[in-house]
Amino acid sequence: MDKPAVPQKKPFVMKIEPGKYAWCACGKSASQPYCDGSHKGTQFKPLIEVIDKPKNVAWCGCKSSATPPFCDGSHSKL
Residue 21, domain extent: 12-77
pLDDT band at 11 (very low <50, low <70, confident <90, very high): very high
What pLDDT, on a 0 to 100 scale, did the predictor assign at position 1?
58
Mean pLDDT, rounded, for 5-29: 97
Q: Is residue 65 part of a domain?
A: yes
Contact present, 27 and 6 (Cβ < 8 Å): yes
In a domain? residue 5? no
What tens digit of pLDDT does each residue of 51-78 get?
A: 999 999 999 999 999 999 999 999 999 8
**Does residue 2 form part of some domain?**
no
Domain count along the chain: 1
CA gap 29, 32 in Å, rounded: 6
What pTM, to 2 d.p., does this model score? Answer: 0.93
Give the residue among 49, 51, 56 at the shortest CA–CA distance from 12: 56
Task: Quote the pLDDT of residue 2.
Answer: 86
Residue 6 is assigned to a structural domain of this protein: no
- Of 54, 62, 15, give the one whose Cα is nearest residue 70: 62
- 42: which residues sit within 8 A by CB, 6+ positions away? 2, 26
Band of pLDDT at residue 28, cut at 50, 70 and 90:
very high
